[in-house]
Amino acid sequence: MFAEIGYGILAITFVIALYSVGAAIYGDRKKSSAIVESARRAMLLTWPLISLSAGTLIYLLITNHFEVSFVYEVTSRSMPTYLKVTAWWGGQAGSLVFWSWLMSAFASLVTLRKWDRDREFLPWVIVITSITTAFFLGLVIFYANPFTRFWQSLDGKIVTSMFAPLNAIAFFPQDGRGLNPLLRHPGMIIHPPLLYLGFVSFVIPYAFAMAALITGRTDDRWIRLTRRWTLWAWLFLSLGLVVGGRWAYDVLGWGGYWGWDPVEIAAFMPWLTGTAFLHSVMIQEKRGLLKHWNMILIILTYALVLFGTFLTRSGVLSSVHAFAQSAIGPAFFVFIGATFITSIALVIYRWPELRSETEMKSMLSREALFLLNNLLFMSILVVSFWGVIFPLISELTTGQKITVGPPFYERATGPLFAGLMFLMGIAPLSAWGNSTIFTLGRALWKSAVAALLIAVFLFFTATKNILALVGFFLIAFVLLVTLVEFWRTARARQKTQNENFFAALLNLIGRNRRRHGGYIIHLSMMLMAIGILGIEVFQVQTQGTIAVGQSLSLSGYSIQFKSLASWDDTPKGVNYTRAVVDIYKDGTFLGQLAPRKDYYFDSQQNMTIPGVRSTLKDDVYVLLVDWQPASANGATFKVFVNPLVNWLWIGTIVFLFGILIAAWPEREADYALAHSKNKAYEPSSAD
């Protein structure tokens, strides 16, 4: 009964979304505001309808309706209620409903704004967002229906179908398989929704870009309208990637946070183009340049959002993050191709109207350096894209799927990331329009010398690894340049406004939140880079089998095996096997860790939980790999020492602070005034 209701609502919503597309196009052609308004209201109706269907699915999940195949596949009686709710996006079909729900919510929200100045954009924004919503609803209705039920035929076969097959009766399993143990983690509540929020949010600036091309409004109005959408999309996607890294660090049991997995890269690629787009639109707003570039970047971002979703849900790539093989792959591929080709055709059609209003006059100007910054992002994208599709190409050409491992990505992208870090230090201090080596050198030389001294100090006291020294030099350089910039501008305001230093700094940030929020984001990226460099260059590991009382030694630490215990938690349906180890550093006792392995009876799978001792200096990360089942006399442990990794998570907090400042609502009428006032407190090279 509930399954049929949920599916029926989705089918009705699909028809309404299609009506919204048709009515918006017809209303624009006939210049009928009434028909366009009808399309808008139809689109507004999709969100409450999908919410009803999603609510029905959640009800089925939390009330153990295992006769519904999706419920059977992702829940079990032993799972807590909050995990049953998160199973909504933990399985193939449910995640597509979640995507549709978010898409309709954002599409509805954007059309609730005042459209007095931009009435011509409205029908085409409706068309683009409704087409995307209808596509995902179509996938659910025709390919990945979460409401199909189990039926038993007369010969005893169990089949799945939305409606009862001939001569079949309903089949009711006693329990479900349950979620994959890797998904039974608090990260499941946060990580997928953040990624989906980032993906769906980027559809909005894409819709406005296409509306601008269709209507011929090729000024920067569409960029100003979607600036905050882009910032929030970038925030959600960035946090989704970082939370995913933390989740991997906690439960995958390999001592790291990022493995260049194909599905990880699928989420990383739209982040690259989205980051390039955020930088590039500033050049169009300020100088009227790169209009073609911005259109192509937002089209690429939309296409990569769809491509990432396709890779995860089609099953074409093997990944710990991916769902199983699915029939939705061809439909996804056709939709991505159709939207991409249509978008590029529109850009070509409007190409003459997207001419730049000025020209670049200096290779050291801020706009030129931002363009170089974007080219580096695109280079990383090319490397990542090639690494992801190479297994598919090899399988098509040779019949064997050859995967590309982390060493390829690290060697290819390392110099590119170093270039981005260097530009992060010099680009904000370059001038718009024209800049010289002399003016840049005058602004940067003190920070460069100080960063070099820091690198020399590290050479004599900590490490002689050239990669590490170059990395720490770049990190110190960007940190010092950014902090000095804050200090200089705050001091200038302090003198002119007779404010104390901290009041001047806060007022300075408040008057140009976008600029100074960006500086704080740069600081956060460098803090993250400390953690990334530490674990990538200095991580050490060992593995060994030891008896109770024996120890493993690594990097000055000693891990002594104390005890092992195993027990069943019947209500939760889990068997726990936990070891207790003592940690010593140079003979000094630091505490105990309890690495364990959890075996889930419903899914018949293990999950490894590390024991971790964290400090700002390093993490001691201990895994229980194996043990003797008959006694506690022997167990195998894998131990990692991960230097500086916690700076990655600290940087994430600072990043969140920076993006909140940059995206904080600002009255459009005050934007130019605030920007002009701040120029009085900025160095001349940055004006």
Distance, CA of 233 to CA of 235 (rounded, Å): 5
Distance, CA of 670 to CA of 368 (rounded, Å): 28
Q: Which of 55, 128, 47, 126 is nearest to 306 (CA)?
A: 128
What pLDDT does 633 receive?
66
Distance, CA of 589 to CA of 643 (rounded, Å): 19
**CB 275 within 8 Å of CB 300:** no
What pLDDT does 667 receive?
56
Q: Which of 407, 286, 437, 278 is nearest to 356 (CA)?
A: 286
552 and 469 co-located in one domain:
no
Give me 159's structure tokens.
Answer: 């089949």
Beta bridge partners of 153: 168
Q: Which element (helix H / strand E) includes 559?
A: strand 557-569
The count of structural domains within the chain is: 4
Q: Which element (helix H / strand E) includes 208?
A: helix 203-215
**Residue type, position 572, single letter:** K
What pLDDT does 180 receive?
83
192 and 104 co-located in one domain:
no
Sheet holding 168-170, edge to edge: 158-161, 149-153, 168-170
Among 415, 442, 462, the domain-final residue is 415
What pLDDT does 359 receive?
80
Rounded to 5 degrees, what are φ and ψ at 352? -65, -30
Range of the domain at 101: 1-179
Distance, CA of 117 to CA of 115 (rounded, Å): 6
**Number of residues assigned to the chain:** 687
Distance, CA of 619 to CA of 590 (rounded, Å): 12
Instruction: Spell out a b/e string for 312-323, using b for 16 or more CB atoms within 10 Å of the CB, else e.
Output: bbbbbbebebbb
36 and 111 co-located in one domain:
yes
Read off the DSSP letter of residue 119: G
Parts of the chain with a pLDDT under 70: 313-326, 629-633, 665-687
139 and 161 co-located in one domain:
yes
pLDDT digits 0-9 by tens, 187-223? 778 888 999 999 999 999 999 999 999 999 888 889 9
What pLDDT does 676 receive?
45
114 and 32 co-located in one domain:
yes
Q: Which of 583, 623, 576 is nearest to 599 (CA)?
A: 576
Distance, CA of 601 to CA of 87 (rounded, Å): 18
Distance of alpha carbon 337 from the chain centroid: 23
Q: Which of 390, 371, 517, 534 is nearest to 467 (CA)?
A: 534
**Residue type, position 45, single letter:** L
- Helix (H/G/I), strand (E/B), else coil: 586: coil
406 and 447 co-located in one domain:
no
Among 354, 382, 415, the domain-final residue is 415
239 and 141 co-located in one domain:
no
**CB 594 within 8 Å of CB 578:** yes
161 and 195 co-located in one domain:
no
Q: Which of 62, 58, 86 is nearest to 176 (CA)?
A: 62
What pLDDT does 196 receive?
92
297 and 170 co-located in one domain:
no
Rounded to 5 degrees, what are φ and ψ at 583? -110, 130
474 and 510 co-located in one domain:
yes
587 and 662 co-located in one domain:
no
- Taking phi over 0 as left and psi of -120 to 50 as alpha, with beta for the rest, 577 belongs to beta
**Residue type, position 662, single letter:** A
- Helix (H/G/I), strand (E/B), else coil: 177: coil
143 and 37 co-located in one domain:
yes
What pLDDT does 320 receive?
45
Listed in sequence order, the residues at least 6 apart from 611 whose beta carbon sits closer than 8 Å to its beta carbon are 579, 581, 593, 594, 595, 596, 621, 622, 623
Q: Which of 231, 230, 212 is nearest to 221 (CA)?
A: 212
